[in-house]
Amino acid sequence: MSNRATGRIRLPHVYEDTEHVLGEITDEQGQGDRVRNWFRRPGYVPESLFYVFAGRPDRIHLTPPQLLMEQARPGGSSQA
């Protein structure tokens, strides 16, 4: 995000521009439609996305939580 957003985040449009850059990044990961759907949800508040993602690209994880849990198990196995 830091590299991709350089010079593209305008203060008067910080939320819209951040969403746009994140949309581009997630398109490359095959998750663009999914992320844009989050932006359209009734409970979505742009400020919440900004505070979670902006400035901390290391906190952007688009992996499904279940997969993260499977990877965290010893051996990375998904066996129950």
Element (H, E) at 66: helix 65-72
What is the pLDDT, as a whole number, of residue 80? 47
The structure tokens listed for 62 are 């688009």
User: What's the structural domain count of the chain?
Assistant: 1
Q: How many CA atoms lie within 13 A of 62 on its CB side?
A: 17
Q: What is the extent of the structural domain holding 61?
A: 2-76
What DSSP letter does each residue of 14-50 carry, written as one string? HHHHHHHHHHHHHHHTT-HHHHHHHHHSTT--HHHHH
| pLDDT tens digits for range 5-37 | 888 888 888 888 888 988 999 999 899 999 899
pTM over 0.75: no
| pLDDT tens digits for range 34-57 | 989 988 888 777 777 666 666 555
